[in-house]
Amino acid sequence: MKKMTIKSWAIDDRPREKLIAKGARSLSTAELIAILISSGNKQESAVDLSKRVLLSANNNIHELAKFSLQKLTSFRGIGPAKAISIITALELGNRRQLENFTATPKITGSKDVYNTMQPLLGSLPHEEFWVLYLNNANKVLSKDQLSKGGITATLVDVRLLFKKAIEISAVAIIICHNHPSGKTEPSSQDKVLTKKIKEAGVSLDIKLLDHLIITEKSYFSFADNGKI
């Protein structure tokens, strides 16, 4: 049986034409991915292949963003070039969400920090440690990755943390890292590090406002829980 190609579909059902006529928001996620990969395989159209890829990610874009190049290319019809297109598009989406942070002029609580950093850290398979540097109005002067580690830990150079704070005249900092395990409970190492950074900031008159442990769906705030 001959496969029905996208070109044989009604105009309104073709992803590219549908986008032109009705806008990107009228397309399903599978149709958007189909535009990225352009073609399917001998048995599937680009849309059908995209639906199968999405199904393997439980129809969840956040899950799909975790797929490696190797995982994506395991699907028949998706080679390295198509896989790279998907990874690139999802990363651009993450960065767009991060840039929405500019709409928040200052940090007013732990939720602001979580909303800012979750798109960056929430779905990572390894730990990363980041610092938000603030001025005296709690506006973010800079957000920087201080270290990148393994599945269960990352090393932090406290000297580098405060070197940057002094360089940009920050008066306060908020530190955060992710737990790939999905557990928000701080480890003993997390508690020791928090205390170390807080005490180091005292002599420099740079206040540690909070330490967030971030997962894909939730977070733990040291400040909210009275541990700062």
C-alpha closest to that of 53 among 25, 73, 35, 26: 73
Strands 207-214, 128-134: pairing kind:
unpaired
Q: How far apart are CA 71 and CA 78, in angstroms?
A: 10
pLDDT (0 to 100) of residue 123: 86
Strands 172-178, 207-214: pairing kind:
parallel
pTM of the predicted structure, to 2 decimals: 0.63
- Point out the residues of the chain with pLDDT beneath 70: 1-13, 98-105, 150-154
Q: In sequence order, which residues have a C-beta less than 8 Å from that of residue 193 and are 6 or more positions away?
A: 156
pLDDT (0 to 100) of residue 1: 46
**Is the Cβ–Cβ distance between 27 and 18 less than 8 Å?**
yes
pLDDT (0 to 100) of residue 22: 87
Sign of the CA dihedral 70, 74, 79, 84? negative
**Is the Cβ–Cβ distance between 126 and 180 less than 8 Å?**
yes
pLDDT (0 to 100) of residue 21: 86
pLDDT (0 to 100) of residue 6: 55
Q: Which residues pair with 221 in a beta bridge?
A: 212
pLDDT (0 to 100) of residue 101: 55
> Helices 110-121 and 80-99 sit at what angle, rounded to 10 degrees?
170
pLDDT (0 to 100) of residue 86: 96
Give the Cβ contact number of residue 107 at 10 Å. Answer: 21
